[in-house]
Structure 1
């Protein structure tokens, strides 16, 4: 089906040597025959993702980006382990087959997993899906259901108790992103001082039921069944997964959730069809999440504001590289305007907040 997520030609400078990859994989994964055709998935701004098409089987290879990387970032072994062990309690993780630490093959470590074929939603709902408002609402609720399900996974039963440290998680995130933002400041960037001060003042205690948090849960990281687009069959991009406060994860997702009534400048940042007729508003999103999770959420302004600040930190880190000429990718030039807009949105939330 043409709506399935498609790979394209490998970008120049990011090629894989099939003569090295093929024999290694055949020694590790039984049943591989023939020579794979290698292409690349165009999305994402972090790890690189390739499609390896053997005559009888398709595999996905993930590797870190080229160039300098923080020591703790892009840990392929950690992501490989998460996929293998979390799958026991959350069956939407693709199966991971092999983790290679021999950098001589492609210049870095990498791992290979199954390809889950399906539809990945980008900015707008494809017209071919014929989703009316009622079906779109059902899809939206299914999207939230999977997030609730993830947060309620028994991570001890998945042997993932060492994945993170729930105690003090909220404070570490606020201070960590404050530090990272300061290091990525450029002369034209907003300083976010009032927002950070408010976050520090309103910081909640540790969550009573910490859970596994995805840290990048968006529609373009879930896979829909091509035969039944209402059904989510996969969740991708587990590189930032850890243990912590599930409501921080909810705040991250809300930061990406641009609804139909948001002003035009905000709409320009939209990367998923969260504005489509039938999609829940942010308030409805929170209420439905709370209902499904069986909890009360009375401080969502804190978590949403944190999500906006964290998103600004991510954007500013990328813009910093562009500002200093470390990348020539002109897509990153307007990121400074997005940063300013996110600060404005945060200040508006704070102004109206009852916290």
Structure 2
């Protein structure tokens, strides 16, 4: 890094991702949590201050700030959830299995399946203190285009490193069903979408039909897939903010086709020359000078993995469709009055926009 970047990196400790006040309606019973954790770890002292991290469109993430150290609590959202979604016990066990071979996974400290504590399953893990690149990089953290490119490659390399793991050799062959993953995903997400339609929802029948017709007969490979790998799920070293030190949100990790995982990631990859609507929906800083374009990500991934990436149309459309289903699921909860978070009010419009992107990609494939 340059001298300027080192100077800014030295102040980056103050840019560590910070939580805020707990949102109304998403409060936790501090006394019950504290009692549960002290039963698991009698060495804990004091009572934690509870704060909440931003986001929370899916699982909710809280900081338990004890006097001597911090812990992170993950729980499902309040209100309706899909039957197979938000399985906190599975997420925690996946993390426990992966951590010995993929050191970016946070250490799980406690798992709770007792509904008397919070009324839901949850787990508590270590806090990896660092910078999380959200919609924009933190104020005051200025990287040159060259440094931004190094950061971008560092993030992509962590995905490539995950996909390089042989799940059977690593003892993770039971993490998922593997073969038939593509079909299960297309059919599963199509079924989920139809179940959360609202009167104002997008149709998506043309998209779902195209995916069903175009899906490859077999997977390109069977690897560990994260299924939500993006910039705001990585943690950067506060002293060297182009280095990834943590990967978060393992809720949907399983065994499957790594190109599906890449397609999921690229659905969030908004680049500088995208249309104004997509740019307005940006959740990560992939528009910055120095960031790779989607085409460059695909080429780099193919070069590093040796996997065939000549025809990514199917995977790109799948990624956009899956994102639209996630958005529509959240909007459905809002429309049904099961969550009051005002940021969800416009999610129906976002799903309709994503249908247009899918149809445009199909038309040009």
8 Å contact 2:79–2:338 — kept in the other structure? no
- Comparing 49-58 with 81-90, which one deviates more in the overlay? 49-58
* 1:30 CA drift (Å): 5.5
> Deviations for 1:126-151, whole angstroms, at most 9, x for unmatched residues?
34222011110111111110001111
The match for 1:119 is: 131
Residue 328 (structure 2) aligns with: 316
How far, CA to CA, are the matches of 2:52 and 2:17 in structure 1?
11
Q: Is the 8 A contact 2:113 2:121 kept in 1?
A: yes
Out of 213, 218, 221, the position equivalent to 1:206 is 218
Asked whether the equivalents of residues 180 and 219 of structure 2 are also in contact (C-alpha less than 8 Å), the reply is no
Corresponding residue of 1:63: 75
Counterpart check, 1:78 vs 2:90: yes
Tell me what 1:90 maps to: 102
Please name the residue that 2:21 is paired with. Answer: 9
State the number of aligned residues: 353
Secondary structure of the residue aligned to 1:250 is helix
Aligned residue number for residue 184 of structure 1: 196
Report deviation, 1:158. Answer: 4.0
In structure 1, the residue matched to 2:4 is none
Aligned to 1:163: 175
Partner Cα distance (1:186, 1:90) in 2: 40
Question: What is the alpha-carbon root mean square deviation over aligned residues?
Answer: 1.7
Kindly indicate whether residue 132 of structure 2 is the aligned counterpart of residue 147 of structure 1. Answer: no
Q: Which of structure 1's runs of 4+ aligned residues deviate more than 4 A?
A: none
CA contact (8 A) 1:318 1:332 kept: yes
Structure 1 residues 295 and 180, CA, compared in 2 at 3 Å: closer, same or farther?
same
2:5 alignment counterpart: none
Alpha-carbon distance, 1:166 to partner: 1.2
Q: Mark the runs of 5 or more structure 2 residues left unpaired by the alignment.
A: 1-12
Q: TM-score, normalised by structure 2?
A: 0.92
What is the CA distance between 1:334 and its match in structure 2?
2.1
Of 319, 324, 345, the match for 2:357: 345
Q: In the alignment, is the contact (CA less than 8 A) between 1:29 and 1:97 conserved in 2?
A: no
Shift of 1:48: 1.7
- 1:100-135 deviation per Cα after TM superposition (whole angstroms, max 9, x unaligned): 112212222221110000000111123422201111
Alignment of 1:19-30 (within 5 A): 19-29=31-41
Q: For structure 1, which segment, 108-117 or 183-192, has the greater mean C-alpha deviation from structure 2 after superposition?
A: 183-192
Partner of 1:195: 207
1:252 aligns with 2:252: no
Between the aligned partners of 1:202 and 1:261, the Cα distance in structure 2 is: 28
**Alpha-carbon deviation of 1:242?**
1.0
Equivalent residue, structure 2, for 1:289: 301
Higher mean C-alpha deviation, range 92-101 or range 37-46:
37-46
Cα displacement string for residues 88-108 of structure 1 (whole angstroms, at most 9, x for unaligned residues) = 111100000111112212222
- Once residues 336 and 212 of structure 1 are traced to their aligned partners in structure 2, the CA distance between those partners, rounded to angstroms, is 31
Structure 1 alignment gaps of length 5 or more: none
The farther-off stretch of 103-112 and 66-75 is 66-75
**CA shift for structure 1 position 27:** 2.6
CA distance in 2, matches of 1:80, 1:101: 11
Query: Hey, what's the Cα distance between the residues in 2 that align with 1:214 and 1:10?
Result: 28
Q: Which shifted more, 256-265 or 13-22?
A: 13-22
For residue 129 of structure 1, give the secondary structure of its aligned residue in structure 2. coil
* Conserved 8 A contact 2:16-2:130: yes
Structure 2 CA distance for partners of 1:311 and 1:10, relative to 1, 3 Å: same
